[in-house]
Chain A
Amino acid sequence: MSGKESDKTAVLVLGCPQVPVQTGVALYLLHALRKKGVVPVVAGNRAARMLVEVSDPERHYVGETVDLDRFIDDLAGKVRAYGLYFIFIHNDSGVSYAATVQSITGSTVVALIYGEHFEEIAESIEFPCEKIAAKAVHNPMPLRKKIDEVLPWVVSNL
């Protein structure tokens, strides 16, 4: 993998924050990654970043945050790389971002697929990735349960 900081790091690529579970699940995943010794970074648009930052005012879970366009530019320019890529997907845009990250890095990305249309979206993904999919819109528990099942294995690959 090219770029810097690629070992015990992970990036959470947030989508549009219109689905309520995104912020809660992101904070949960940030916490779980830190407990496993992984340094997480959050990439997202301004609204998505502000939601996680405001939810964690003392920064117990949220560390560095990066603008989404900057994140993609840095990946494409081989300026920066991460050990793990978690992409939050609840619409077609999320699939596009996941495909972009997978194509640029050559890494297997972890696709966190949720929302009303999670099955349809999961089926539309044809590139290599680990899919964690659940019908989570307001209730984050189905997605949290799947993250708990998969995360130890995902992190063990770092």
Chain B
Amino acid sequence: MGCVESLKYEVVLKGASFKECREYVRAHCKEYRDVQPGFRLFEKAVVGVPPISIGLDGDVLVFPYTKPCYGTFLLKIEDPEEAARIRALKKK
């Protein structure tokens, strides 16, 4: 997800486990959608242990971002188009 690094993001959790990210999204975001690894978010395949929860608060997306050396970060990015695309996914 190299292109995510070029977007304006906020780090919500740093060095979190995939489980902590999922629990945070489900507890703190108004809505969320579960996706499988490999799902394309910001045009790149998402890495993680399924189900991967993507949080939605208006136009803001909250999602895990994994780096091999630094663990998993939970990031927050405002993007109306991507938020609308994720919101349109069927709730599971």
A and B held together in a complex: yes
Interfacial residues, chain A to chain B (CB-CB below 8 A): 14-16, 18, 44-45, 47-48, 68-69, 72-73, 75-77, 91-97, 99-100, 103-104, 127
Chain B contacts to A: CB under 8 angstroms = 1-2, 17-18, 36-40, 44-50, 66-72
Given that A73-B44, A97-B47, A100-B48 are contacting pairs, would A92 and B71 also be in contact in the complex, using a CB cutoff of 8 Å? Answer: yes
A-B contact pairs, 15 of them (CB 8 A): A16-B68, A45-B68, A76-B37, A76-B38, A76-B45, A92-B71, A93-B70, A93-B72, A96-B47, A96-B66, A99-B18, A99-B48, A99-B50, A103-B37, A127-B50
A96 vs B17: C-alpha distance when bound (angstroms) = 9
The interface residues of chain A, by DSSP majority, are classed as: helix
- Given A72-B38, A75-B38, A76-B40, A103-B50 contact (CB < 8 Å): yes
B37:A99 contact, CB within 8 angstroms:
yes
**Cα(A68)–Cα(B47), bound, Å:** 11
Write the nearest CB–CB distance from A142 to chain B, whole angstroms: 23
Q: How far is the CA of A95 from the CA of B67 in the complex (A)?
A: 12
User: Shortest Cβ distance from B80 into chain A, in angstroms?
Assistant: 25
Contact B48 A15 (CB under 8 A): no
Instruction: Please measure, in the bound complex, the distance between the C-alpha atom of A47 and the C-alpha atom of B68, giving whole angstroms.
Output: 11
Residues of A within 8 A of B50 (CB): 99, 103, 127
Bound Cα distance from A48 to B67, whole angstroms:
13
Q: Looking at B1, B47, B69, B71, which has the most chain A CB atoms within 10 Å of its CB?
A: B47
